[in-house]
Chain A
Amino acid sequence: MAKRNLNQQLNDALEEILANPNAFPSSVDTELSSLLSIAADLRHLPTQEFRERLKANLLRAAKSSIQKGEEIMTTAVQQKVIVQPYLSVKNAAAAIDFYKNAFGAEEIFRLDEPDGRIGHAQLRIGDAEIMLADEYPEYGIVGPQTLGGSGVTLHLEVENADAFVNRAAAAGAKIVRPVKDEFYGERSGRIQDPFGHNWTVSQPIEQLSEEEVQRRYDEMLKESPHPPKKVNPIRKGFHTVTPYLIVDRAEDLIDFVKAAFNAVEIFRSSGSAGGIHCEVEIGTSRVMIGGSATMPVETTHSTMYLYVEDVDALYSQAVKAGGTSMQEPTDQPYGDRNAHIKDPFGNSWYIASHVEDVEP
């Protein structure tokens, strides 16, 4: 009964508190007053519904802020970017004509200059567009012909690579690599136009995954590795013409050129039959020396013309080494000071310094 009373008393007091936030019933049982103090604080108890609703709203806001952030990022990355080739060509007018004939290009814009050069032109080739202009060396704008090559290849995707390349070739393009089916799923060839620009002409023939392309490439390289790198036909250290002195005692001639002209031996090989081949460097030039006593050769007399810093000094040195003086150092009307000696094998050596530029 006492408990029932307390229940009722508590509830009565609660009604008061809930009705008037500032109220705090004073005339209550001490047992109740501590409960009422808790109850007073509970007036501020949030509802579960609100707690959950706010959480859901915050999550939605967080998500949309993430999406917005992503959108901003994607827009920044995926901003529309167009790459359009801008060709520099020697004689743009001729190039435009060529591209019309060879590629079926359509001229859509041309800016002529009083001096006849084309300052800017735009052509459409199928769905693609290119820009081009004449060379303007005064602004450092030059084409492949002037540069001696181009580092860029323009890739054209076409419906019929064979027909396209044939037409281009008929108009004057050079076929660099004939059209054929390629491992990467395209039928493709490579041409160079008369103005030095390179084009690959490609026609998709297969839909391939990246993995498949890689697999085929690995396969292909196994079967036929890359050809050896192209070698420069002129050996390093040599020029187009290299004197080759053939004598019956090559060893002695080698010693003589070392003593006479400060030659430096670069290479020497002896064949099984006793023949010798040697290469020496005299200043900035190379000379080959060959022959041997054990393998008699027909001696050919040659004449060398050396450019050196100090004619007189080298002349004396060469004579001292066994050369026969044919002419002492002399100033010549053609701007060289030169001397002439013969080595012990009959070859002539002119020793010269260019001392004056003379009009021819």
Chain B
Amino acid sequence: MKARDEVDERLLVEAAQKDPSRFADLYEHNFDRIYAFIARRVRDRYEAQDLTSEVFHQALANIKRYTYRGVPFSAWLFRIASNAIVDRSRRVNRERDVLMQQDPEDIQLQDSENHARLFQTVNGLPPDQRRVIELRFAEQKSIREIAEEMNRTEGAIKQLQFRALQNLRARMGETNG
């Protein structure tokens, strides 16, 4: 399965190298892991968005120079991301790049993969649960705000939130096992 993923990924890379508009497929394929990798290492989601955007734009601009060396395409993206984070932290004179050196690289990457899988699992939730998770975590809205937006009671939103997390735990457990 892994080998087939790699072959497919190579095809995606070759397609994007020939026609940059095909980069969208590579983006979809890698967005979650790169975003997760970055988000864990920066102050807030605005910075995470900024850097994620920077990483993918850099990747797009340099896609023709990318050569396959037997490691997944994401390794290249992770390297761009690491550099971008380090650059950023140096620029703003913060020392969060210490974070980068705390875990060995493979653990960092595994961690990002797990997050990415979690994010993708969110997409598979029933629509109401998914909406609550997105509003609550991605958009960081309060229960009251969400209740208003979804035209439900706060209790109903709390319940959806609870069920959604249970669901995610169950689904993550399935895929882990």
Contacts and interface: CB of A to CB of B under 8 A. Distances in A.
A150 interface: no
Given A8-B158, A38-B165, A61-B57, A14 B19 contact: no
B56 A63 contact: no
Contacts of B140: 18
A44 B118 CA distance: 10
A74 interface: no
Interface residues of A, number: 33
A330 interface: no
B110 interface: no
B35 A11 contact: no
B20 A46 contact: no
A47 B138 CA distance: 5
A220 interface: no
Given A43-B137, A44-B39, A45-B119, A62 B21 contact: yes
A61 B114 CA distance: 30
Contacts of B21: 59, 62-63, 66
B165 A10 contact: yes
B39 A46 contact: yes
Nearest to B37: A44
Interface stretch (B5-13, B23-31, B75-83, B93-101): B23-31
A176 interface: no
A45 B158 CA distance: 18
Interface residues of B, number: 45
Contact of A61 (B48, B60, B134): B60
A127 B175 CA distance: 77
Contacts of B168: 38, 42
Interface in B156-177: 158-159, 161-162, 165-166, 168-169, 172
Contacts of A38: 118, 165, 168-169, 172
B133 A62 contact: no
Contact of A58 (B27, B49, B162): B27
Contacts of B19: 66
A89 B60 CA distance: 59
A57 interface: yes
Contacts of A62: 20-21, 23-24, 60
Contact of A46 (B35, B158, B161, B162): B35
Contacts of A10: 158, 161-162, 165
B40 interface: yes
A14 B53 contact: no
Given A8-B158, A11-B158, A41 B31 contact: no
A232 interface: no
Interface in B122-174: 122, 133-134, 136-140, 143, 155, 158-159, 161-162, 165-166, 168-169, 172
10 contacts: A11-B158, A18-B136, A38-B169, A42-B136, A46-B138, A47-B138, A47-B139, A54-B52, A57-B53, A66-B21
Interface of A: 3-4, 6-8, 10-11, 14, 18, 34-35, 38-39, 41-48, 50-51, 54-55, 57-59, 61-63, 65-66
Given A45-B134, A54-B31, 11 more contacts: A11-B143, A14-B136, A35-B169, A38-B169, A39-B165, A44-B39, A45-B122, A51-B31, A55-B24, A58-B56, A66-B20
